[in-house]
Structure 1
C-alpha cells in the first residue's frame, strides 16, 4: 500500500514530460522510506502512549537512532515485517527490560564492552540501496558508532534510575545483536 502511494505521489511530482528514470526511481524510493518510517513512528508513538511506556520508548529510541545511524543494522523487506520486528524490539527494551532487577555494574560494563567490540568489528552495515564505497567514510561511521556506544555506556553507568539503565543497556545490546545477525551485503 505504501509502495502504491509513493508511486502515485511520484507520478504527481514527475510529470510524463520528465523522463529521467533514475531521478524518478530515487524520488519514489525516498517517498517510500519517508512514508513507511512515518507510519511506523506514528504507530509506535500511539502504541507506547496507550500502554503508558512512552518515556522508556523515547529513551530507547534516542539510543537506537543515534547508534544505528552510523552502525547500520538489520533491514527487513516489507513495512509490516519491519513494523512487527520494531514493535517487538521496543517492547523488549521499553516494557520488559525496565522490569528487570538491577544487575551488578560488571554486567553492565560487560554489555557495553561486548557492544563496543561488536560495533568495531561489524559496523557499518549498509544496504545495497545506500552503499558506502569510500573507505574513509566507512571508518568514520565505524568509529562514530563505537564512540556513541562508549558515551551511552558511560552515561548509563552514572544514571541512578535502574529502569532507565536497564532500558538503555538492553537497547545497546539489541543493536549489537542485530549487527551480528545481519549478513553484510556484497556491494
Structure 2
C-alpha cells in the first residue's frame, strides 16, 4: 500500500514537472516510501503506548533512538511488517526494563560507558547499503557526542525509570553496532576465502 501511494504521488509530480528525470522519480519514490513508512510506524507505536498509558516513556525512548541511531546506523529490516514488529518489540522491551525497580552499581555503568566509547571509536558508524557513509569521521565524532550527552544525563538523573530507559537504549544500539560489524567481518572473510580458492 505504501509503495502504491508513493508511486501515485511520484506519478503526479512527473505529470506536473517535466524536468524530473527517471532517476529523480526513483529517488522520490524511495524517499516517499521511507517517510510514509516511518510515519505509519510512529502512529501505530504512538497508539499502542497511548493505550498502555506509557506515552511519555515511548516519546523519550524515541528521542534517544533518533539521536543515537542517526549517527551510529543500525540493523534494518527488509519489509515494513518485519520492521514494525521489531520496532514494537524494541520499544516494549525498553518499557518493560524501564519499569523494573533496579539500578546496578555505578562501577558497572562506568565500565559499560568505557566499553561503549571504545566500541563507538572502533566500529561506528555502521555500513548500510541503503545509506552510504559519506563522512565516516564526522559521523563517528557525532556518535561520540550523542553517547556522551546521554551518558552525562544518565549519571546526573536519580529517576530509576528514566535511567533504565537511557541505559537499555544505549545498550541495544551498541549491540546492533557489534552484530553488524561481526556480520560484516564474516562476509569479508567469505569473500577473501572465495578469492584465494579461485587463485588456487
Give the TM-score normalised by structure 2: 0.84
Single out whichever of 26-35 and 1-10 deviates more from structure 2: 1-10
Single out whichever of 101-110 and 32-41 deviates more from structure 2: 101-110
Gaps of 5+ in 2: 189-200
Q: CA RMSD in A?
A: 1.9
Aligned to 2:5: 5
Give 1 or 2 for the bigger CA radius of gyration. Answer: 2
Single out whichever of 73-82 and 96-105 deviates more from structure 2: 96-105
Picking from 165, 168, 192, the partner of 1:167 is 165
The reply on whether 1:40 has 2:41 as its aligned counterpart is yes
* Paired residue total: 183
SS in 1 for 2:99: helix
Q: How does 1:12-27 map to 2 (within 5 A)?
A: 12-15=12-15, 18=18, 20-27=21-28
Gaps of 5+ in 1: none
Change (3 A) 1:58 1:6: same
Contact 2:68 2:143 survives alignment (8 Å): yes
Distance 1:24 1:53 in 2: 40
Distance 2:172 2:48 in 1: 20
SS in 1 for 2:133: coil
Shift of 1:130: 2.1
Shift of 1:168: 0.7
Structure with the larger helix share:
2
- Higher RCO, Cα 8 Å, sep 6+: 1
Give the TM-score normalised by structure 1: 0.90
